[in-house]
Amino acid sequence: MTVTLIIGGASGIGGRGHPPAARTWPPGDHIYGATKWAVTGLAENARLMVTHDGIGVTLIAPGRVGTGFWDNHAGGPPDVDMLPAEKVGEAIVWALTQPAGVDVNTMIVRPVGQPV
What's the pLDDT at 41? 93
**How far, in Å, CA of 44 to CA of 38, rounded?**
10
Q: Which of 17, 20, 32, 92 is catalytic?
A: 32
What's the pLDDT at 15? 38
DSSP E strands in the chain: the ranges are 2-6, 56-62, 65-66, 83-84, 106-109
What are the sequence ranges of the domains in the chain? 2-109
Amino acid at 41: G
- What pTM value is reported for the model? 0.67
What is the overall mean pLDDT for the chain?
Answer: 78
- Is 40 an annotated catalytic residue? no
Q: Which CATH architecture has domain 2-109?
A: 3-Layer(aba) Sandwich (3.40)
With a cut of 50, list the residues of the chain below it in pLDDT.
1-19
